[in-house]
Structure 1
Amino acid sequence: MDKRKLAIEVLENLGGSSNVKTCQLYATGIIVEVNDLKKVNEGKLQENEEIIEVEIKDRIYLVTGTEAADVYDAFIKEAGINNESEIYNRAKIWQIGLFSLNNTATNFYMFLTGFITYYCVGVAGLLTAVVGIILTGMRIFDGITDPIIGFLIDKTDGKFGKFRPFMVLGNVIMILATFVMLQTTHLVPEGLRYLYFIFIYGIYIVGYTFQTACTKAGQACLTNDPKQRPIFSMFDGVFVTVMFMGLQIIVSNVLIPMTGGFNQQFFNLAWVMTVLCSAVLTLLAIIGIWKKDRTEFFGTGIAQKIKFKEYWDVIKNNRAIQMLVVSASTDKLAMTIGQNAILTTILYGILVGNYALSGQISLITLLPTLFLGLWGMNFSRKTGMKKAIVVASWLGIIVTAGMALFVYVVDMGAVSLSSLNMITIIFILFLIVRGAVNNVSGNIVIPMIADCADYETYRTGRYVPGMMGTLFSFVDKIISSFATTVITLSLAFIGYANTLPQIGDPVTNTIKTFYVVMAFGVPILGLVCNVIAMKFYPLSREKMIEVQTKIREIKEQNI
C-alpha cells in the first residue's frame, strides 16, 4: 500500500484540504470531519480498493486496516493538519533530556552498591552465601516498599509539585545511608554486624525508591506524545551507557590500580564520586520537570482522591501493566544476573587475564553502541514501542547465542589491544551489537510505564502514575531480587563458599561454563519472555493515539 498516494486520493475525494476540518485515528482507520459534506465524493471513496469500508454520517469513517496509523500520518501531512497541539501535552526536548538524568543519578548508586558484596565479604568479613541471601531479602523489601511510596506520590499535590519533593528527599537519604553503611559496618561487633547492615541498607532502599519511583511516574506529566516518549529512552540510553562505561573505566584503570583492590580506600573514593555526580544530576532533573510538575498536567487535569484498595483493580484489569511487568521483570532478572560485577571480574580478570581491558574495551565500544542504540530508539518513534521491543528482543536472542558460543569455544586469553587479532575484533563487535539491542529492550520500558498510566486514565479516569510505576517496580524487584542469590549460591556450589572469584585466578572449565551460563544463557531466557509477553500487550501505536484523544476529551469536559 502506497500511503502517500492513498492519502492524496482520499483528500481529493473529500473536497481538498480546505474542506477538511479534523482527522482522528482509531484502531483500523481514520475519522475525518469536513466543512461541507456535499463536496465529498462517496462513490470514488467506495471504489478505492485500498479502503475496506466507507461510512458517512456527521463525519466520514474510513476503514483502512492494520496500517491505519501510517495512513493517518500521510493524510494529516497532505492535508496540512496539526493535531498534536490539540491532543498532546508536549515537552521541550531539553526538558525531556534533563529529566532523564534522574535515572542516571540513581544508577550511580546502583553501580556503587553493585560492589557491595565485595565490601561485605572483603572488608566487613561477612560470609558470601549469607550476604547473597541478605541482599535477596532486601531486594524483596525494596519491592514491598514500592506500592506504599507510589501511593504517597499519588496523594501528593502541593506547592512543590508531586515529584520534586521525593526526588530531593530520596537523594539525601541515599547520601547519608551509604556513608554510614560503608564507614561503620565493619566497625560494629561481629555478632551485630549482619543486623546492622540490614538496618542501614533498608534505609538506603527507601531513599532509592523515593527517587526511582519519580523516574517512572514523572513521565506521565512530562509528555504524552507517543513520538516524544521514546526520546526519553534515547537520552537515558546515552546517559546511562556513558555512565556505566565511564565508571567501569575509572574503576579498572584508576581506582583499582590506586587502591590495590576492593578495599576500604576503594569504597571511600567511590562513595565521594557517586555522591557528587548523583547530586548534580538530580538538580538538573528537577529543573527539567519543574514546569510540568503541576496539577494541570496530571491525568484529567483535576485533583483526585486515590484509595489504596484501588491497587487491586489496577492489578486485576490493566492488561498493559500486567504484560509489561512480565516482560520487564523476567528480562531484568536475566540482565541483572548477566551484568553482575562478579561476572565482569571473571571475564576480564580470569578468562581474558587482563582486568584493565574491561575499561579500555568499554571505551572503544561506547560510541558505536550508542549510535546503534539511538537508531533503535528512533525506530520506536516510527513503529511504536511495542514493536521496537519485540524486534530488539529477537535480535538480542540471536546475538547473545552467538556470543555465548564464541566465548565458550575460543581462547579468551587471546583478547588483546596491543596485538590486535581476529578474536579481539569479533569479541568487540559482539559487545557493540549486543549492547545496542540491550539498550533498546531495556531502556524503552520506562516510557512504556507512562503509557500504562495513561491507559489506566483512559480505562477508569484515574490518574495514578505513582501507583503504576511502583506496582511495576514491586513485581520487577521481587523477581529480580533473586539475581544475587542465584550468583552467590551458584558460586558456592562450584567451590566459592567463603570467597569470590578474584583477578588472576586460573582459568578452569568450571568457571568458564559458569560464566557462559550466567552471562548468556540466563539473558536469552529473559529475552524470550519479552517476546511472549508482548504478544498480549495491548498498547500498539494506534491504540495510544486513541487513548490520548479520549484523555484530551475528558480534560476539555473538566475545564
Structure 2
Amino acid sequence: MSAINTQGEMLTERQDASSAKKWELILYPLTALGGNCFMLLMMIVSFYAAGIVGLGTVIASFIITGSRVLDGFLDPFMGYLVDKTNGKLGKVKLFLLLGFVVMSISTALIYYTAYLVPDEMRTVYFMGLYALYIIGYTLYVIAARSGYAILTKDPKQRPIFGAAEAIYMSFFAAGGAIYLSSYLAPKYGGFSDPGLFQEFTLVVIAVAGTCMAIGLFVIWPKDRIENYGDGNPVIIKFKDMWPILKGNRPLQMFIVAAATDKLSMQIQGNQVINVMLFGIIMGNFALLGTVTSIAIIPNILLIVFGMRYASKVGLKKGLVATTWLAIFATTLLVVVLWLGDPTQIAFNDWGFMTIAFLVLFLIAGAARSLATAYVVPMIPEIIDYEAYRSKRFTPGIVTSLYTFVDKLVSSLAQTVIGLVLAMIGFRAAFPDLDTPYSETLFWVTMFLAFGVLIIGWIATLIAMKFYKLDKAKMDEIAEVLEARRQENMDAG
C-alpha cells in the first residue's frame, strides 16, 4: 500500500509540474499587467521631458531612444543572469521584486525631481534616471515571461494565460485612457503641470505593486529546478546565446513578427498620436476614453473566441487569421476618415461617420489586442522548442534575445514620432489639444496611427510563412519533454 501511495504521489507531482490549475493560469498574467502600468506611465514622458523639464522634442526623443538602445544591449546579460540563477529564490521571484523596486524608484525620481535640478544638469540627470527605469523594466519583463514557461508545459493550457493577459490589458487600456483623458488632463489643464505626472506615478506604483505580489504568490511554489524544462538543469554559458539564436528558426521568425508589430504599436499607442487623432482631427479628446471603454466588450469576445480557436488549430494559424482581419479593418478605417468628416464622430450624432468609425475602430482594435495576446503563449513555445532541440532550458536567454531585438526596433518609436513631427514644424513642443487642424497633420496622423500598423502586420504574415511550430509540432514537443522529465525524476 505504501508503494502504491508513493507512486500516486509521484504521478501527482509530475502532473502538477507539467500543467497548472486554471486559477493559476488566470491570475499569473496580472504580473505582466504590473509592467504595463509603468509602460503606460512612461508613454507620456515625452510631454514631461519636452515641456516641463525643457529638453525640447528632438533632444527628449533621442534621449528616450538612446536609453532603450543601451538597455537592449544589456538584455542578453540579464537573460543570462536569470538562467544562471537556480537558488532558493528560483529564476523568477527575485527578479520580479528587484525589477519592480528599480522601476518605482526611477519613475518617482523622474517625475518628482527632474524639473527641479539646475538647467545644466537636467539632460544628464533625466538620461540616467530613464536608463535606470529601462533596466528595471527589463529585469521585470524577463522574469515575468520566464514564469510562463515554468507555470505550464501543456500547449492547450497556454492560450488561457494569453487570453487572460489580453483581457486584463483591455480593461487596463480602457481604465488608463479614461483616467488620463477624462480625469487627470482636465484636472491639471493638459500635460503642462508636474502634478499630473506625479499623481499618475503614485497610482501606477500602487497598482503595479499589487499585480506583482499576486504573480509572486502564484509562481512561488513552482519556481524550482525540477520544473525547469525536462527537470535536468544544464550549465548555461554566455557564449551559448549565438548558437541558440542561429539554430532556432522559430525564434528568428517570432522576433521579426513581434518586433515589427511592437514598433508600430508603440508609435500608434503614444499619447501624442492619441492627442492628434482624437483631440485635433476629431476635436474631442475625451472621446478617446469613451471609445476605449466601449472596446472592452468586443476585445474580450474576440480574444476568447480567438484563443479557443488557437487551442484547436495552434497559435500560428490563429495569429495569421487575426492579422488578416486587422489589416482589412484598419485599411477601411483610414478610407472612412479620409473620405468623411471626422468632426462628425460623436455619440450625440449617430450618423454614418460615427457608426462606421466605431465599428471599424472596435474591430481593428480587437484584432490588434488578439494579435498581441498570441505573443504571450508563443514565447513559452519557443522556450520548449529550444529545450526539445538542444536539451537546454533557457527562458531568460530566449526571452532576452527577443527583447534585445524588440527594444532595438521599438526604441525607434519615439524618434520616428519626434522626427516626423519636426519635419512638419513641431520642433519645440509636440501637438497639444489647442493645436489647429491642417491637411498635413491629418495625413501624418493617418500614417503614425494606422499606416505603421499595416506595415508591421505585413511583416508578421511574411515571418509566419517560415515559423514551423504548428499544433502538431507542439504536441510532439510536449510529449518528448514530459517523457524526458519523467526519466530524469525516476533517475533521481
TM-score w.r.t. the length of structure 1 is: 0.83
Q: Which amino acid is the alignment partner of residue 155 of structure 1? A: K
Instruction: Tell me the residue number matched to 1:552.
Output: 482
Q: Deviations over 1:98-131 (max 9, x none)?
A: 2101110010000000000000011101110111
Separation of aligned partners in 1, 2:329 and 2:321: 12
Question: 2:157 maps to what in 1?
Answer: 228
One-letter identity of the residue aligned with 2:366: A
- CA–CA distance in structure 1, aligned partners of residues 373 and 111 of structure 2: 30
2:189 corresponds to which letter in structure 1?
G
How many angstroms does 1:338 deviate by? Answer: 1.7
The equivalent position to 1:291 in structure 2, one of 210, 221, 224, is 221
SS at match of 1:310: helix
Cα distance in 1, alignment partners of residues 202 and 37 from structure 2:
11
The SS at the match of 1:504 is coil
Aligned runs of 1:58-97 on 2, under 5 Å?
Answer: 89-97=18-26
Q: Which residue of 2 aligns with 1:255?
A: 184
Partner in structure 1 of residue 412 of structure 2: 482
1:213 aligns with 2:139: no
Q: Tell me, yes or no, if the aligned pair for 2:177 and 2:292 is still in contact at 8 Å.
A: yes
1:378 aligned residue (304, 308, 325): 308
Q: Would you say the 8 A contact 1:97–1:288 is kept in 2?
A: no
Is residue 492 of structure 1 aligned with residue 430 of structure 2? no
Q: Which runs of 5+ in 1 are unaligned?
A: 1-84
Q: Could you say which residue in structure 2 is the equivalent of 1:515?
A: 445
Cα distance in 2 for residues equivalent to 1:88 and 1:106: 26
State the partner residue of 1:389.
Answer: 319
| 2: CA distance, partners of 1:268 / 1:134 | 21
Q: Aligned pair 1:152/2:81, yes or no? A: yes
SS across alignment from 2:203: helix
The whole-number CA distance in structure 2 between the counterparts of 1:144 and 1:97 is: 33
The residue type equivalent to 2:388 in the other structure is Y
Aligned partner of residue 308 in structure 2, secondary structure: helix
What percentage of residue pairs aligned between the two structures are identical? Answer: 36
1:205 partner SS = helix
* Equivalent in the alignment of 1:269: 199
CA shift in 2, pair 1:536/1:87, >3 Å? farther
Equivalent-residue separation in structure 1 for 2:296 and 2:475 (angstroms): 35
- Determine if contact 2:251/2:402 at 8 Å carries over to the other structure: yes
1:194-215 CA-partner distances (Å, limit 9, x unpaired):
1111111111111111111122
Q: Which runs of 5+ in 2 are unaligned?
A: 1-13
Structure 2 counterpart of 1:133: 62
Alpha carbons 2:68, 2:131 under 8 Å: kept: no
Q: Deviations over 1:495-525 (max 9, x none)?
A: 0011111103221100000011111111101
- 1:394-543 to structure 2, matched below 5 A, reads 394-543=324-473
Quote the Cα distance in structure 2 between the aligned partners of 1:336 and 1:240: 15
Report the alpha carbon displacement of residue 398 of structure 1 after superposing the two structures with TM.
0.8
Residue among 260, 264, 275 paired with 1:330: 260
Residue number in structure 2 paired with 1:75: none
CA distance in 2, matches of 1:370, 1:435: 11
In 1, the alpha carbon distance for the partners of 2:314 and 2:367 equals 16
String of CA shifts for 1:33-80, please: whole Å, max 9, x gaps.
Answer: xxxxxxxxxxxxxxxxxxxxxxxxxxxxxxxxxxxxxxxxxxxxxxxx
Mapped contact 2:173–2:292 kept (Cα < 8 A): no
Task: Measure the CA separation in 2 of the matches of 1:382 and 1:256.
Answer: 44
* Structure 1 contact 453–464 (Cα < 8 Å) conserved: yes
Deviation beyond 3 Å, 4+ runs, structure 1 = 85-88
Deviation at 1:538, TM superposition (A): 1.2
Structure 1 counterpart of 2:358, one-letter code: I
CA contact (8 A) 2:79 2:400 kept: yes
Deviation at 1:86, TM superposition (A): 6.7
Which stretch shows the higher mean deviation, 549-558 or 131-140? 549-558
Aligned partners of 1:231, 1:348: CA distance in 2, in Å?
33
Displacement of 1:446: 1.9
Choose which of 298, 320, 325 in structure 2 pairs with 1:368: 298
Contact 2:330-2:361 at 8 Å conserved across structures: no
Cα distance in structure 1, aligned partners of 2:94 and 2:49:
32
Tell me which of 144, 166, 174 is aligned to 1:245.
Answer: 174
Residue pair 1:87, 1:549 contacting (<8 A) in 2 also = no
CA contact (8 A) 1:353 1:504 kept: no
Counterpart amino acid of residue 531 in structure 1: L
Q: How many residues align?
A: 475
Q: 1:196 aligns with which of 103, 121, 125?
A: 125
**How far apart in 1 are the matches of 2:487 and 2:211?**
38
Q: 1:80 is matched with which residue?
A: none
- The residue number in structure 2 matching 1:161 is 90
1:46 is aligned to: none
Shift of 1:421: 2.1
Q: Is the 8 A contact 2:336 2:353 kept in 1?
A: no
Distance 1:505 1:424 in 2: 23
Distance 1:88 1:155, change over 3 A: closer
1:512 to 1:458, Cα distance in 2 relative to 1, 3 A: same
Residues 202-233 of structure 1 show CA distances to partners (whole Å, capped at 9, x for unaligned) of 11111111111122211111111111111111
Map 1:42-121 onto structure 2 (within 5 A).
89-121=18-50
Distance in 2, matches of 1:397 and 1:476, equals 21
* Counterpart for residue 242 of structure 2: 312
Query: Residues 177 and 288 of structure 2 are in contact (CA less than 8 Å); yes or no, is this contact kept in structure 1?
Result: yes
Q: Quick one: distance in 1 between partners of 2:369 and 2:173? A: 12
Structure 1 residue identity aligned to 2:144: T
Tell me the TM-score normalized by structure 2: 0.94
Matches of 1:331 and 1:361, distance apart in 2: 22
**Contact in 2 for aligned 1:87/1:548 (Cα 8 Å):** no
Higher relative contact order (CA 8 A, sep 6+): 2
Give 3-state SS (helix, strand or coil) of 1:309's partner: helix
Distance 1:408 1:286, change over 3 A: same
**Aligned-residue offset at 1:155:** 0.9
- The answer as to whether partners of 1:336 and 1:483 remain within 8 angstroms in 2 is yes
Q: Distance in 2 between matches of 1:153 and 1:476?
A: 19
**SS of equivalent to 2:41:** helix
Contact preservation (8 Å) 2:96, 2:140: yes
Q: Take 1:323 and 1:87, find their aligned partners in 2: how far apart are those partners? A: 31
